[in-house]
A and B are shown apart, each in its own frame.
Chain A
Amino acid sequence: MAAVSTRRLQKELADIKNHGTPTGITLLKADDFETWYLTLEVLGESLYKGEVFALKFRFEPGYPISSPAVQFVVDDKFRAPLHPHVYSNGHICASILGTEWSPVLSVISVCITLQSMLASCKDKKRPPDNDRYVAHAPENPKKTQFVYHDDEV
C-alpha cells in the first residue's frame, strides 16, 4: 500500500493543479512524492523586492504526521534570503517546521508562512550564530534542535 504521505501529497498536488498557487508561489518541481521544489517571492513593498527564492521540501512516509524537512535552495541559481531566521546554507529557524508543526498544515501553508516571514522583515541580516551553525549543521535541517528566538521577525 502506498505511503500515507503519497495519498496526502496527491491531494495537495491535485489542489495546486486545480486551483493554482497563491500569488508569489509557484510549483517548480514535484516529480515524485519525496521531494518538491517551489519558488517563493514577496510581492509588493518589502526588503526582498525582485528577489526569487526556491524552497525544497522533503517528505517522510509519515507526512503529514511527521513534519516535512524544509529549506531554502542554495545552488548556482538560488540563494538563501538574508534574514535573521535563515542560515546561509538555507536552513530555516521557524517553529512551525519544528515543535509547532501540525498535520493540518500543508506545503502551500508552509510557503505562505515563510512568505509572510520575509515580508515582515525589517533588517536583512544573518542569524547571529550563522557561521558556527553552518560549519556544523546536519544535512537535514530536521536534525537540528533550533531555539526559537522570537515570534516577531
Chain B
Amino acid sequence: MKVTVKSWHAIAQWRWDTGSNSTEDEEGDVCGICRVAFEGCCPSCKVPGDDCPLIWGECSHVFHMHCLLKWIGTAASKQQCPMDRRPWATAERKVNK
C-alpha cells in the first residue's frame, strides 16, 4: 500500500522547568499565590509564556513573577517569601540539563 501524506499538523507541548521532576502532580504545579498553573498566566496577564514568566527564590519556592512582585511590593510582605517567610532572594534560574 502506498500512502501519500496530504497534510499534517504538528502538536507541541511546553512547560516551565521548575526543577521538580513530577509531571503527574497537578497540585504542585500551581502558583501558590494565584493558584493558577505555572503554565497558565497570572491574573494580570492574558497570554501565558515568556511574557508571564516564573521567578525562583533561593529558598527553592517558585511563583509567577508578577504574583510574587505584587506581594514583595507591599509593605505587609516585609520582603519575605510567602511560603517560608525567609527574606526573598531571587535565584538564578536553575536549568537541569
A residues adjacent to B (C-beta < 8 A): 4, 7-8, 11-12, 64-67, 99-104
Contact = CB atoms under 8 A, between A and B. Distances in A.
A7 B76 contact: no
User: For this complex, into which size category does the number of interface residues on chain B fall?
Assistant: 10 to 19
A102 B34 contact: no
B34 A7 contact: yes
B41 to A, nearest CB: 11
Interface of B: 32-36, 43-44, 67, 70-71, 74, 76, 80, 82-83, 85
Contact of A102 (B36, B43, B70, B82): B82
B85 to A, nearest CB: 7
B36 A7 contact: yes
A104 B43 contact: no
B33 A103 contact: yes
A8 B67 CA distance: 12
